[in-house]
Amino acid sequence: MAKFSYVARDINGMLYKGVVEAIDKKEVRLSLRQKGYYPTTIRSARQWKQLSIFNSISNDDVAIFADQLSIMVEAGIPLVRALTTIAEQTKNERFRQIISTIRQDVESGSSFADALRKYPKIFSNLFVSLVKTGEVGGVLSKSLKQIAEYLDNERQIKRKVKSAFVYPKIVMGLCVVVVIFMVTFIVPRFMTIYSEMKVTLPLPTRIILGVSKFVPKYWWLLLFGAGSIYFGYKQFKTSNTGKRFFDKAMLYMPIIGNLGKKMVVCRFIKVLSALTISGVPIMQALDVAKQVANNTVMDEVVAKIQDNVNAGGGLKEPISQSEIFPPMVVQIVAMGEEVGNLGDSLDKSSKYLDREIDDHVKRLIVKIEPATTVIIAAVVGLILMAIYLPMFDMVKLATAK
């Protein structure tokens, strides 16, 4: 079986594009005509194009798709027609083909949720669950709007957190460049002068001299070592032990640990709130929220919540015993359970955590910027001190004579 891309029109002249698997072009043409389409172009799909980094589908693409679809469905446009319109205006070739295929599945009688479920790397369990609930309850536009809002909020939080580390990354990068330049070009010139004058070099200067000799000669070894460390880090991070280690580090590391806790809890509560409000059973909602949170520490908390719910309890006791849920969130959730309004209480908790994350990021930026400046000044200062220490000794000797 090979993949073929096609362009076709229906009896009303509406344009359709997509990708199908078939033995040859003849089979594609026959299949399209059986569905009432009249193909105008059929050609072999280029596999490299689908795999190209330029055609990768980002979270922004999915968020825009959900937002556009919710607006069109809410306006009364049939789902198949809405998907066709969105596919035509989607610039990402790979995503356009996927939307076209989803539209074909829906047109052939498949549910929208089942069509989306074929692409788990693009449409998350949360996306599929909310769509399925919307289809069953006849409120698809509302579910799509919830998805769009959630994805947009996630995008904003990630952007804020990344912005906190942009300045340190730039400054640390410049620091590495400056250090390499000094060690490679500046230090050797001073060492030539000192060797000619036969000055006894202090320990810091000897260390810097050793580094300046090692880097130009064995730079390839440093690159190999850095690559090996990075590869080992990636391998360890993907293992069960490594994932657990880094998940715990994210929540308990100094300076950024509290921010990590708030982000994981906020992501979990947002998903749980959206699913609960949409009428998804609590156990299923917990499973989906756990997968979206994607943290082994949260997995353990959710397992305790599910055990407690199965035993006839609620969320309050397990989350209050955990170390990652803020007391304010615990109290809001407890109140929601008492009055029978858990979904709204979870929504209020997520909005509270959104504000907390925003404030925390702002405070973090204020702390990080001067800290990185101090670190860089200290590194450069130590190198300069090591360079000029022998010069002070020379001045002392000259004064003594």
Asked if the structure places residue 109 within a domain, the reply is no
* Predicted local confidence at residue 28, as pLDDT: 81
Q: Which two tokens stand for residue 345?
A: 């209480």
- Shared-domain flag, residues 245 and 385: yes
pLDDT in tens, 161-179: 777 778 778 888 888 888 8
Asked if the structure places residue 96 within a domain, the reply is no
* Predicted local confidence at residue 393, as pLDDT: 65
* Predicted local confidence at residue 50, as pLDDT: 44
Asked if the structure places residue 111 within a domain, the reply is no
* Predicted local confidence at residue 55, as pLDDT: 59
Look at residues 13, 28, 45 and tell me which one is the last residue of a structural domain: 45
Over residues 351-379, the mean pLDDT reads 83
CA-nearest of 112, 12, 2 to 66 is: 112
For 239-387, strand residue ranges (E) read none
- Shared-domain flag, residues 173 and 301: yes
Over residues 15-31, the mean pLDDT reads 78
Q: Do the beta carbons of residue 206 and residue 195 sit within 8 Å?
A: no
Asked if the structure places residue 290 within a domain, the reply is yes
- Shared-domain flag, residues 34 and 161: no
- Shared-domain flag, residues 36 and 160: no
Look at residues 11, 26, 45 and tell me which one is the last residue of a structural domain: 45
Asked if the structure places residue 226 within a domain, the reply is yes
- Shared-domain flag, residues 25 and 170: no
Distance between CA atoms of residues 32 and 41, nearest Å: 11
Asked if the structure places residue 133 within a domain, the reply is no
Mean pLDDT computed over every residue of the chain: 82
* Predicted local confidence at residue 228, as pLDDT: 92
Does residue 68 surpass a pLDDT of 70?
yes
* Predicted local confidence at residue 51, as pLDDT: 44
Distance between CA atoms of residues 162 and 357, nearest Å: 13
Distance between CA atoms of residues 109 and 178, nearest Å: 63
Asked if the structure places residue 120 within a domain, the reply is no
Over residues 119-125, the mean pLDDT reads 86
Distance between CA atoms of residues 141 and 75, nearest Å: 9
pLDDT in tens, 279-290: 888 888 888 888
Question: CA geometry: angle at 116 spanning 114 and 122, to 5°?
Answer: 150
Over residues 227-245, the mean pLDDT reads 88
Q: Do the beta carbons of residue 259 and residue 162 sit within 8 Å?
A: no
Residue 64 gets the label, from left (phi > 0), alpha (psi -120 to 50) or beta, of alpha
Over residues 320-346, the mean pLDDT reads 87
| Residue range of the domain that includes 34 | 1-45
CA-nearest of 37, 94, 107 to 65 is: 94
Domains: count for the chain: 2
- By CB atoms closer than 10 A (0-12, 13-18, 19+), residue 119 is middle
pLDDT in tens, 255-288: 788 888 888 898 889 888 888 888 888 888 888 8
* Predicted local confidence at residue 289, as pLDDT: 86
- Shared-domain flag, residues 250 and 372: yes
**pLDDT band at residue 48 under the 50/70/90 scheme:** very low
pLDDT in tens, 339-356: 888 888 888 888 888 888
Asked if the structure places residue 388 within a domain, the reply is yes
- Shared-domain flag, residues 40 and 176: no
Over residues 11-16, the mean pLDDT reads 73
Distance between CA atoms of residues 376 and 171, nearest Å: 8
